[in-house]
Amino acid sequence: MQSTMTLARAGNAFFLSIACAAAASLATMPARAAFPDKPIKLVVPFAPGGGTDLVARTMAITMGQELGQPVIIDNKPGAGTIIGTDAVAKSAPDGYTMVMATVAHVVNPSIQPKLPYNHDKAFAPVMLVGISPNVLVVRADSPLKSVKDLIDAARKDPGKLSFASQGAGTSAHLAGELFKNLTKTNITHIPYRGAGPAITDLLGGQVDVMFATAAAVGTFVENGKLRPLAVTTATRSAAPALAKVPTIAESGVLGYVADSWYGLYAPAGTPADVIARLHAAAKKAVQTEAFRKRVESEGLVIQGGSPQDFDKYAKGEEARWRKVVKENNITAE
């Protein structure tokens, strides 16, 4: 009996020593620092000066104030957004790297034979920022005054006219390819590494037209350097500068719709509490008067829903464009 009690006491002492050692170990482990404790990088997969860049930079100011750390824009253009997107996919899932994605994010899996990341598993949605029209624009001195003029000119000299985009697989590229297919025209696609360089060449006469985001060309439309022929959405834009501009569909291209959007992603595996913190800061940013004035005048309809809302929307967009790409034989080049 006594030996049994002795063994019991020894066993209890053994387990107590393990528990104490574990507690001591946990006490000495460094606690995860409160997020964020250093600057956050927001990758823009386009060159500076385009619509995505402008939206990201406008948001970054308020997000930085809300998070207590600067949000730094990192432009990584190229390969139809794949270079910048891949950099984020391969970043640590700690909340310190995000990407400002566009429709190219959900289209690339349909038009690119092989991506350097697993599209379905590499990203965690943070927030859908907003949805806006693309705008079919020409230089102010262009002889093209309407969608009909563009169609007639393209049919008269197949391949002579060219349209610029901010890269293969972007909303501007798809908008142009869909236009070509529905109008049975041949207009040469000229991809750039962002909307900024594309607009520069459009203004300089190196290309003829562009299906640009409203955010990218809003200032040039307002100052008269670019003339809008039509918007790509199903209904006319509410933006003052575009309110009188017809849709491409009502200009005679029945069934034509090609929206543009912006949304934030972090690498997959980013902790839920960190995603929640980033989402709260992003939502605060799009609700500021400064952001609203900057983007609503150019037709952006602000969203700001939950990460789950964004995930559902993006998956719907991916399915819709996959169908369009297949039916219209749209390729990356």
Q: How far, in Å, CA of 311 to CA of 232, rounded?
A: 23
pLDDT band at 5 (very low <50, low <70, confident <90, very high): very low
CATH number at residue 321: 3.40.190.150
pLDDT of residue 231: 96
For residue 115, tell me if it sits in a domain.
yes
What confidence score (pLDDT) does residue 214 get?
A: 84
Last residue of a domain, one of 228, 259, 290: 259
Within a domain: residue 2? no
On whether both 125 and 265 belong to a single domain, the answer is yes
- Per-residue pLDDT tens digits for 37-92: 999 999 999 989 888 999 999 999 999 999 999 999 999 998 889 999 999 999 99
Tell me, yes or no, whether 249 and 138 share the same domain: yes
pLDDT at 168: 81
Look at residue 189 and tell me if it is in a domain: yes
User: Does residue 35 lie in a domain region?
Assistant: no
C-alpha to C-alpha distance for 36 and 90, rounded to whole angstroms: 20
The answer to whether the beta carbons of residues 216 and 133 sit under 8 Å apart is no
Distances (CA, A) of 64 to 59, 92, 96, 278: 9, 20, 12, 10
- Listed residues 259, 278, 312: the one ending a domain: 259
Per the structure block, which two tokens stand in for 183?
Answer: 């109008």
Is residue 184 within 8 A of residue 68, CB to CB? The reply is no
Report how many domains make up the chain: 2
Please say if the pLDDT value at position 250 is more than 80.
yes
Look at residue 277 and tell me if it is in a domain. yes
Does position 6 have pLDDT exceeding 50, yes or no? no
- Of the pLDDT bands very low, low, confident and very high (cuts 50, 70, 90), residue 329 is confident
Q: What is the pLDDT of residue 10?
A: 47
Q: Given CA atoms 207, 236, 155, 193 in this order, what sign does their dihedral have? A: positive
pLDDT of 17 reads 52
- pLDDT at residue number 141: 97
Q: Is 284 found in the same domain as 178?
A: no
Angle, to 10 degrees, between the axis of helix 289-296 and the axis of helix 272-286?
A: 70
Three-class DSSP category at 153: helix
What pLDDT digit, counting tens, does each position of 253-297 carry?
999 999 889 999 999 999 999 999 999 999 999 999 999 988 876
Q: For residue 307, what are the domain limits?
A: 40-131+261-328
Say if pTM beats, i.e. exceeds, 0.95: no
Q: Domain ends where: 259, 274, 303?
A: 259
Q: In this prediction, what percent of the chain has a pLDDT beyond 90? A: 66
Residue 242 sits in a domain of what CATH number? 3.40.190.10
pLDDT greater at residue 170 or residue 83: 83
Pairing of strands 209-213, 162-165: parallel
78 forms beta bridges with none
Nearest CA among 318, 331, 305, 299 for reference residue 102 = 318
Residues 208 and 149 in one domain: yes
216 in the same domain as 125: no
Task: Please report where in the chains the tokens 């053994």 appear, as a residue.
Answer: 14
Instruction: Look at residue 45 and tell me if it is in a domain.
Output: yes
- Whether 95 and 124 map to the same domain: the answer is yes
Q: Which helix (H) or strand (E) holds 137?
A: strand 123-139
Do 44 and 105 lie in one domain? The reply is yes
